[in-house]
Amino acid sequence: MANQNGEKYGFTGLFPIATNQSDDLRAFLRTLDDPQTYPRGSPLSHVPIIHMARMFIVDRLAYQGTPAKFDGSSRTIWCSCANSMARA
């Protein structure tokens, strides 16, 4: 899902995580804020058009009852969100 408002652009992506891989992905995402791994800051801080970026893991999506249909999925989801400014 993406949107644009003037020169601002937003992106949200939901990605299923392979079975038994969420712990590895969670550990990797934590390294993005580690000054020993990235002494100059997150790798995303070097992308000049990124205003805000957030990545997180949803362990279980909420089922909110009818009229929604429960799909039986108990998969873990990786969510990636970013806001950026378009280049002039």
pLDDT in tens, 71-87: 666 667 777 777 776 55
- What lies within 8 Å, CB to CB, of 73 at 6+ separation is 61
pLDDT at 71: 63
In a domain, 67, yes or no: no
In a domain, 36, yes or no: yes
- What lies within 8 Å, CB to CB, of 54 at 6+ separation is 79, 80, 81, 82
In a domain, 10, yes or no: yes
In a domain, 30, yes or no: yes
> Do the bridges between strand 77-85 and strand 50-58 make them parallel or antiparallel, or are there none, so unpaired?
antiparallel
pLDDT at 22: 87
Give residue 53's domain range.
2-62+73-85
In a domain, 19, yes or no: yes
pLDDT at 74: 61
Query: For residues 46 and 49, what is the distance between their CA atoms, to the nearest angstrom?
Result: 9
Stretches where the chain sits below pLDDT 50 are 1, 88
Encoding tokens for residue 74?
Answer: 């108990």
Q: Backbone dihedral region of 72: left (phi > 0), alpha (psi from -120 to 50 degrees) or beta?
A: left
How many domains does one find in the chain? 1
